[in-house]
Amino acid sequence: MKFVRGMVFPNASSGGRGVAWRMKWTYEFWGFCIWAPNSTTVPGGFASNNGTVLPTNFTGGTSLLASGTDGYHPAVSGDQFSGDCLFSSPSASFTPTMAGRIIAIWVPGSNSSEDSLYIISRVVSSTQLIININSGGTPNPTTKHPSMTARTGVFYRILDMETAAATLQTTAGNGNYMVFQTDAGSINPGQANSQIQITHAGTDSVAQLAVGLSGTGTWAGNSFVLNTATNATPIVCTTPTPHNFSTGQTINITGALGNTAANGQWVVTVVNATQFSLSGSVGNGAYTANSGTVWNGFQNDGYQCLFSYVTSTNQAYTAGATAITMIGDKTMLIAHIREQDLFQFNALSSFYFEIPLRLYPQNADLHPVAFLG
């Protein structure tokens, strides 16, 4: 089990970050800390075929300030209260502006709880940082104070979380998603590796988190250009080739211009081989031909669902702090995030997914998966 325990992170944005915060923290924690990949740019734990559709400056770009594979840190005994740990990387070019940012650290393939997210307290030099380990790692069993073992070959990512969240909070954020791949077979013999999709639905203070589940892990992740999208209720879309969709299937549309109401996650109703409508949609303009991309979502497998809930931040939000607690392994994730501004407005939300232990015979409960928001 790995965790981020009660981290209080300064949030300088006067608009909060709403859904975008939740997606950024979980992307880094799930993809790099929990799954501990052998890469500083390609996360683990997402569907292999287009498992993420996210802006460049969300996953990397200007939000990824530095990364490396030669990090190391000494042991911290837990005899002190400070929770400071010296982190070094001989190949790094750390700068003073990285103080206050977040560092994700992990050793590839590791199951250590020290693989986590930490606040950078201070930049000592171009190759050394002080990181605050109060929110991660394993406490000393006697003193209960923060402690760390000595590790080498530590991978790391230094992150500007606000830049990443702001990128997703803009209009371009609507319809971006992550498809979490679980290790369900380690819980229930014979179970497929079930998947959970979360999508940024909407923009800024009206954003919602849309969720889809697939017990059988049938995310296709194929994409094609959308020829037309009618300015009607509902919107009817035309594809250049047969779409092979089924009524009730989930899709995502990103990048549609003119009739921007087509963007987002939808349940479709099939009209014919090259046309489908978006359930519950209302057109808002003349579509710019061939501007939108359709992403094929979960196939109908009897375990699919789609719902959304608001985790947005009220427009009265002022600069304050964000508190983050996350706990997870490759079969479950708890993400609890609370935004508190200077005037004590609180935006509190959490979501939780897991692969539960099968309660019934395998033929009656083949692919159990649960989500709570």
Residue 234: asked if its preceding bond is cis (omega within 30°), the reply is yes
Q: How far is the C-alpha of 333 from the C-alpha of 351, rounded, in Å? A: 8
Report how far apart, in Å, the C-alpha atoms of 163 and of each of 5, 52, 131, 173 are: 23, 18, 21, 13
Output the pTM of the full model. 0.88
Half-sphere exposure of 343 (CA within 13 A, CB side): 8
- Token pair 């909070």 is found at 169
Residues ≥6 apart with Cβ < 8 Å to 284: 231, 259, 260, 261
Each residue's pLDDT, cut to its tens digit, for the chain (373 residues) gives 999 988 888 877 656 667 888 899 999 999 999 999 999 999 999 999 889 989 999 999 999 999 999 999 999 987 766 788 999 999 999 999 999 999 999 999 999 999 999 999 999 999 999 999 988 877 888 888 888 999 999 999 999 998 998 888 776 677 789 999 999 999 999 999 999 998 887 765 566 777 888 888 888 888 889 999 999 999 999 999 898 888 887 788 888 999 999 988 788 999 999 999 999 999 999 999 999 988 877 765 655 555 555 554 444 455 677 889 999 999 999 998 877 766 556 666 788 999 999 988 888 888 999 998 7
Q: How far is the C-alpha of 7 from the C-alpha of 337, rounded, in Å? A: 10
